[in-house]
Structure formats: structure tokens, C-alpha cells
Structure 1
Amino acid sequence: MMADVTPLDVTALRAGIPALARLVYLNTGTAGPLPRAVRDAMLDALDADLDRGRASARRFARIAEGFEEARALLAGLVRADAGEVALTGGTTDGIERVLAAMPWSRGDRLVTSPLEHPDVLEAARATARRYDLDLVVAGPAGQTPEEIAEALVTATRGARLVVVSHVTYGAGVVLPIGRIAAAARARGALVLVDGAQAAGALDVDVHALGADFYAFPGQKWLLGPEGTGALVVTRAADRRPASAFEPGAKSAMLWAGLRAAVRWRVEHGHERLVEAVRRGAELARAQLAAIPGVPVLTPARHAGLVAFRLPGADPLAVAAALGARRIATRGIPEIGAVRLSCGPFTTDGELTFAAETVRSLALEKAVSAQ
């Protein structure tokens, strides 16, 4: 539980994010809007290379120092040690690196859930095919969070690795990672957590969760550039240093942007931003739930995502209709829903406008069906 925090200055926050002037931005769970400070840091890095060239020892030393700063900044967000952080190209990249590094033997059990992102499920399937593993997708997608957790706990028996989301990418369900990790540890399995929809939206403590590996991106809730991310490799999970999981080549420009994004976050107050996300999602969930005939899939225990269905309507078409009204959302065909991502910069008025637009679409659908 976080301590009480002072209110976020949303006006100051929004002033630094130009895209908010033209959109109701409810798609941070895909890619957050760039703060101007992030763009400026990337341009500065490019300009330095343009003016000074890219071959000096001083430049390479400066880049290495920047990577070390990035590890420390990212570690602070999830309460890890800087030495436990590998810099990656994103969440799926980090997950794939763990899957590739595991000492698999034929017949080993790899466990995951049906609620995972399609890219993660495909990575798990590809790994199972490559090493002839027993892949277990625990439980049907329609189960409650408690039922999914129970299915995962049961499936940890005999498993080598469990891959599970902290917050599911579709409906924004917060899974009880601590319980799942404790069961896995008791049975000798490791736990790899997909933190794509948690890091920056929730207060994350990787050690308290019991995660052995925790992967998260830079471009979503951290509002950094695409092509950046982190993988926490706890010291108890692997004998190799976290740096062994890093790609050999990393863009100095992208990581200058990511450092700026995290510094910008710290400047505005990490806890204040997390609380603003929680409050916005709570309001969005309540407003959508009040619309007749529009079921909300997101449970009461949620992060920044809120998913709803417009019965009989294609979620991609609904998202497009909202986009035509300058409301950026995402359709999730896998669960037949439209997903709103409530950023820390989202105002109550924007959420009310989005909910009223959904209400109008639902009424249009009902009238056309008569």
C-alpha cells in the first residue's frame, strides 16, 4: 500500500505532452504519448553524433555511462538493484531472452496462461516446439482471476518455468503474482513475469512479488521511446549477471530518450502518477458500467486498463468509431472488447466524454438492431 501523496499537477503534466492537445489519449497501454523532454533528449543525442562524429573513445564512455544511469533509473521504478537490470528492446524481447537462456531438457514443463499477450504465447509455443517441451496453458480464458491463479498454481507442479502477466493486456486483470510465485518456488519452478501493463501503472516491487524475472517496456506507461525495455534478473534466479541477457548493440539515441522519460517521471512524482492512473481507471470503469447493455470486463481490482464490450459490434470497428471522434483506444479481438488505457494525464472531463461517446454508440447499435 502506498502512502498518501499530494495531488498531481495535471495541467503541468499535460503541458509537456503535445499530442494531448489533439486527442483524448486512451491508448497508453499500446504506446504512451511522448513528452517533449523525451523528444528533446533523443534529438540532442543525434545532434551530438552529427556534430562530433561517432568514433571517439569519449563518446563510447559517455554512452556506457548513460546505460548505467538507465539501469539505475529503471531499477528504482521496480525496487530492484541496478545490477539486476538488463536493457532490452521491449517486453517480448526480454521474455524471449529468458526462454532462450533456460537450460531446457526434452519434456520439461513450461506453464503459461490463456490471458497472455499473443506475442508471448507465440514465443512460448515456439520455445516448446524448439526444445520439445510440455507446454501447459493453464485454464480457459473465461475464468476469473482467482480461477486462473488456481490453475497456474496447480500447473506449477513439475514445471521448470511459469510465464505470467502481472496485469493482463486485454481486460487489465491484476493477477496474484505473489501467490503464484510462492507456489512455483515451493515446487522448484522459476517465474517470468510480463510487466508490460504494470510498470508505471502500478507500484511494483519485484522482490516482494517473488518474481525471478520481470520484463517491462519503455514505450507504454513510462512514456519512453519504442525499442526500449528492461528485464530484471534477480540474483537468486540465475547465476549469470543480468548484463548477459542484454543485446550487444543498443541505440544511444533511444536510451537517451528513455532516461529522459524516467527522469521526467521522477520529477512529476512516480507515486503521484501511479495514483492518478488508479483513480482514472476507477472513474472510467464506473462510468462505463453505468451504460445499459455495455458489459465491463475489468474487475474491481485493476490497474490502468478498462475493457468493455459493445454486444454485437466488432471491437476494431468500435475503436475506429471512437478514433473518428479523436478518442484513441484499442480493440482487442482476442477478448471481443475495446480497451481504454487511463494515463496519469487523463482528465475527468475526457473520461466523461469517452463514456458518453460509448453510450451514443451503444444507442446507435440498439436502434439499428430494431
Structure 2
Amino acid sequence: MGFFTAAGGRNRPDPRPRRRLGGPGALAARAAAPRRPCSLGPHAGGGEAPLTFEEARAQFPVFERFAYLNAGTNGPLARATVEAIVEWNRRDLEQGRGGKPYFENVLALRERAREALAGVLEVPPQNVALVSSTTNACNVVLAGLDLTSEDEVVTTDIEHFGLLGPLLASPAKVRVAQVRDASPREAPCLVCGQVTSRTKLIAISHVSWVTGNSLGPDELRRQTELPILLDGAQSAGACRTEAAAFDFYTVSGQKWLCGPDSTGALYVRDPERLRVALPTYMSQSAYDTENSFTPKPGAPRFDSVWYAPGTLAGLLAALEAAPEWRHERTREVASYCRRRLDEAGYEIVTAPDQAGLITFSSGGEAAEAAARLFEAGVIVRDVPGTKWLRASCGWWTSEDDIERLLGGL
């Protein structure tokens, strides 16, 4: 069963039939035909006409120049996102950053951002902390678990240093499951094979930044009752997360959510069971200068960053720009990308029916190929230490972007 079939097909509101993608001939024949309009959740009310794919894509000026296939690093910025940042920065410049109304507005923006990020994860806002990155979120969790040298944590050989770094910095022994060459179906068993009586945490990616494959967290959850920390950097915004099934889930705001840099979230299922080991001013509801502090209720006690109001406004604008059909479209265009690369004879690393990343071998030096593609107006990235390239296919990606990739290769 494919990743999206297993994780994304359940409880989908307002299911729609999926348009089949054809080959190059179908692309040419379809060019003049209007695309079925899909309503954007935040923009669909108030009697406004729903946006078409072309109108939604037109929010991003970068597409006028590039086939931008690198949301796995940084997502494209929409006009509304940058305009919201600029508007608040201009307000700060002209009116200052003080006074009770100012801070009340900023705090209200923070809660709106928390609610919007909770909506992405489909979890209650009180279980979401605001953080600066996935790395920051992983550090919050690893520090709060109070692991010792007698404990073990299980991870895999295809994790980003944003997760691996906090694991290695902890006193616990790190056990590594070798999953890079395994199928998504095999990964959960390989991870569970590293579990011992000393294991206190399983910490893996939902979707690997290296291979683009899901590590099967749903199946892993069924196989073990151990706490699970999921790095959601390559899943949140690209597919449904099912975050509520796990103990900890991290979000990178600047990737598939197309938000400003240094934004993110951490879902904590049971905040009372995680110690506030890295407190910030936002962590407390009261404190005593000599004894202790009272943590805020819920996951906001783990808030680790004070966002500038422009950043908050930009993040909200980015989240509001995402259409309700984003997961369907991401799946559709990623499948198209994988099929076209396969037809062209490239070795595909990513299994069918994953998320938005497609990793493949270009047949030569990957870094040189990425640089050559950039000069041709196609932005992808190479995967360090491999001969692989990685294309990020988001809801905004067009079939023409994929054809430009193939032409550049």
C-alpha cells in the first residue's frame, strides 16, 4: 500500500475525483483547456469566486523566471507573504515597537499563528509550541526527556543533522537502523529491529530528506508503544501528517509551508510529561526569583522564539495562501515527475506514492548537474555524499516545470 493511500486517504473532507496526468502529447493538448477550479479554504468564503490552479500559482513571482523545485530546502514566497512582512516592518519603523496596544496585537498574532499551524497538523492549538526550526524543536524534546547514558534512542541512517545533532548531543546511546536502501514497507521493521529494553525514544523523519521515502511511522506506531519523535520537515505542508498519533512532531515553516525563515512548530501530545529544560520568557505564567517558575498550560510552555510581528504576519499569509486541494495536487504532480524521469531512463530512488520529494540519479556528478540546471532556470538540489538530485514537487508545481527539468538534464 502506498504512503498516500495509507496516510492521506483517511478522513479526507470533501473528496474530489483526481485528474489523470498524461504524457507530453496530453500536455500539449491540455494547454488551452481551462483547469477545473478548486476553492482555496481561506479564500472560499464571502461569496468570492474560487481560485483556479493558475491563479493560485500566480501568487509566486519566482515562477515567472524559474522552474522552482526546491521547497525541500526553502519554499517559494508568495507576494502576500512578503507584503505582510513589509507592512508590519514599515509600521514598526514609523510607529515604534512599544505600548500596550502594540504588544496586545503581537500576542494576538502569535495565537493566530499557533492556531494556523495546529490546523496544518490537525491537532489542538494548546498542543503546539512555536519554535524557530525543526532543529530547535528536536533540541526541546531531547533536553526535556532527561535521557541518561544508560538509555538508548533509535534513529536511521537517512536523517538530517537537524534531528541527528540533538540525538548525538544527548547522553543516550544512538542506535541506527540501516534503511537507505530499503523500501518504505521494510523501514518500520528495520527500525523496530534496533529497539532494546533500554530504548526510551524512536526519533525518525516522517519523510526522508535523502530518499524522499516515508519511513512508515503509522506502521511503526502500530508495532511499538515507545515514544516517537517525528521530524516533519519534509512532510508538513506536503502531505497529511497524522501528527496526533505520535508523541512529538516537528514542523519547518520555511519549506513546504512557504513561510518566512526561522519559523516552525512542535506538537507535544502530553506536555505534562516533558520537562521544560530550555525555558524562554514565553515559557512561564509566573515565576519566583529564588525558587521556581510556573509553566504555561499546554505546549506553549515550550515556545522558544519571539517572532517579530512581520514574521508572524508573513507566516499567516503563507498559510492562508495554501489551497485546500494542496495534498491532492502535490501527490499528482510528484507522481507525474517520477513517471517522466523514469520514462527518460533515470534511476529513481523514491518509491511510488510518497510525498513531494523525488530523488533520482542524473548519471553524473550531482552538484555539477544542479549548478547546470540552475543556469538553465531550473532549481533543484544535490543530496550531499551521493550522486543523487532531488526535485521538490509542491501544489504549485506545473507539468511544464517538470518538462523544463527534463530539458535541462
Normalised TM-score (structure 2):
0.80
Q: Quote the offset at 1:335 in angstroms.
A: 3.7
Identity, in percent, stands at: 30
Cα pair distance change 1:337/1:248, threshold 3 Å: closer
Write the distance in 2 (CA, Å) between the matches of 1:201 and 1:309: 22
Write the distance in 1 (CA, Å) between the matches of 2:128 and 2:37: 31
Counterparts of 1:122-201 in structure 2, within 5 Å, are 122-127=165-170, 131=171, 133-139=172-178, 141-158=180-197, 159-185=199-225, 189-201=226-238
Question: What is the aligned counterpart of 2:384 among 333, 341, 349?
Answer: 333
Q: Deviations over 1:63-114 (max 9, x none)?
A: 1111111111111111100000101101111111111111212210111111
Matched, 1:81 2:124: yes
Question: What is the aligned counterpart of 1:298 among 350, 368, 389?
Answer: 350
Write the distance in 2 (CA, Å) between the matches of 1:334 and 1:99: 27
Q: Quote the offset at 1:140 in angstroms.
A: 5.0
Partner of 1:249: 306
Write the distance in 2 (CA, Å) between the matches of 1:336 and 1:328: 17
Q: Quote the offset at 1:38 in angstroms.
A: 0.4
Which amino acid is 1:197 matched to?
Answer: Q
Is the contact between residue 213 and residue 237 of structure 1 (CA under 8 Å) also seen in structure 2?
no
Which amino acid is 1:52 matched to?
Answer: Q
Q: Quote the offset at 1:256 in angstroms.
A: 1.4
Structure 1 vs Structure 2 CA RMSD: 1.7
Is the contact between residue 77 and residue 258 of structure 2 (CA under 8 Å) also seen in structure 1?
yes
Counterparts of 1:1-370 in structure 2, within 5 Å, are 1=9, 2=12, 3-4=15-16, 7-8=37-38, 9-127=52-170, 131=171, 133-139=172-178, 141-158=180-197, 159-185=199-225, 189-207=226-244, 210-235=245-270, 238=273, 241-265=298-322, 269-270=323-324, 272-292=325-345, 294-311=346-363, 313-358=364-409
Give the structure with the larger helix fraction: 1
Q: Deviations over 1:255-304 (max 9, x none)?
A: 11111111122xxx23x111111111000000001123x20101013111
Write the distance in 1 (CA, Å) between the matches of 2:369 and 2:165: 27
Give the ranges of 4+ consecutive aligned residues of structure 1 lying more than 3 Å apart after TM superposition. 5-8
Q: Deviations over 1:199-226 (max 9, x none)?
A: 111022212xx21000011111111101
Write the distance in 2 (CA, Å) between the matches of 1:160 and 1:125: 14
Q: Deviations over 1:289-324 (max 9, x none)?
A: 1123x201010131111111023x221111111111
Write the distance in 2 (CA, Å) between the matches of 1:248 and 1:203: 26
Is the contact between residue 180 and residue 211 of structure 2 (CA under 8 Å) also seen in structure 1?
no
Which amino acid is 1:4 matched to?
Answer: R
SS at match of 2:154: strand
Which amino acid is 1:201 matched to?
Answer: A
Write the distance in 1 (CA, Å) between the matches of 2:393 and 2:320: 21
Is the contact between residue 157 and residue 184 of structure 1 (CA under 8 Å) also seen in structure 2?
no
Is the contact between residue 56 and residue 396 of structure 2 (CA under 8 Å) also seen in structure 1?
yes
Which amino acid is 1:16 matched to?
Answer: Q
Normalised TM-score (structure 1):
0.88
Ranges in structure 2 where 5+ consecutive residues have no aligned partner:
1-8, 18-35, 39-51, 276-297
Q: Deviations over 1:310-355 (max 9, x none)?
A: 23x2211111111110000000023421000012121112212212
Ranges in structure 1 where 5+ consecutive residues have no aligned partner:
359-370
Aligned residues: 343
Is the contact between residue 145 and residue 274 of structure 2 (CA under 8 Å) also seen in structure 1?
no
Deviates more, 1:142-151 or 1:233-242: 233-242
Q: Quote the offset at 1:239 in angstroms.
A: 5.5
Is the contact between residue 129 and residue 299 of structure 2 (CA under 8 Å) also seen in structure 1?
yes
Q: Quote the offset at 1:59 in angstroms.
A: 0.8
Cα pair distance change 1:343/1:57, threshold 3 Å: same
SS at match of 1:112: strand
SS at match of 2:348: coil
Partner of 1:361: none
